[in-house]
Amino acid sequence: MPNPIWQADVFAALKRAHVAQLGYVPDAGHAHLINAAHADPDIRTTVLTTEEEGIALAAGAWLGGQRAVLLMQSSGVGNCINMLSLPVNCRMPFLTLVTMRGEWGEFNPWQVAMGTATPTVLTAAGVHVRRADRPEDAAETVGAAAALAFASCVPVAVLFSQRLIGTKVF
């Protein structure tokens, strides 16, 4: 795994954005954020059985006066397409951080299709897409995405490139 400094900076950006709930489907690319959230008494973590549950979690958090983030892998974006209509049509903020697969050094051909389609699919569903390719840009990108989502009540996704998170080797 790459140096966790940028991941710590991303967690700090989420804290500055007053994120109080974090939903996730377990993913090695998000391991640092997941562990940091579990260790933080001010953040409630929820392990999801499928990614679209995270959209409902974020909506419920917002209705209850809190901010949430959904952590998922690009392969999970396809599971969310119908549910993305909730934040779009209800003008609710939605923030998701997506670790990309099917890109730099991918070994699993099954990951390539959704990895390639993820930005287009999210944009077509009404989600504002941002991308972090370099460690020095990750936290700033997340901070700007959180500001856009929560101030403008729009869905925003930050894609962490596979080169940034590191190539998986099994």
pLDDT digits (tens, 9 = 90+) for 65-120: 999 999 999 999 999 999 999 999 999 999 999 998 766 766 666 776 677 789 99
CATH number of the domain within which 43 lies: 3.40.50.970
Q: Would you state the structure tokens that stand for residue 85, as one six-digit string?
A: 């209509």
pLDDT tens string 34-43: 999 999 999 9
- Considering its fold, how many domains does the chain have in total? 1
170 falls within a domain: no
Residue 95 forms beta bridges with which residues? Answer: 156
CB atoms within 10 A of CB 109: 8
10 falls within a domain: yes
- The rounded distance, in Å, linking the Cα atoms of 148 and 104 is 28
19-24 sheet: strands from edge to edge: 44-47, 19-24, 67-73, 94-99, 155-160, 128-132
Q: What is the CA radius of gyration of the chain?
A: 14
- The rounded distance, in Å, linking the Cα atoms of 69 and 105 is 28
**Which of helix, strand or coil describes residue 27?**
coil
Q: Would you state the structure tokens that stand for residue 154, as one six-digit string?
A: 């729009």
**DSSP code, position 106:** -
pTM: 0.93
128 falls within a domain: yes
Q: Flag whether pLDDT at 3 surpasses 60.
A: no
141 falls within a domain: yes
Handedness of CA 153, 155, 159, 160 (dihedral sign): positive
Domain limits for position 141: 5-165
- Output phi, psi for 101, to 5 deg: -125, 170
Give the total residue count for the chain. Answer: 170
43 falls within a domain: yes
Q: If we measure between CA atoms, which residue out of 50, 5, 12, 4 comes closest to residue 28?
A: 4
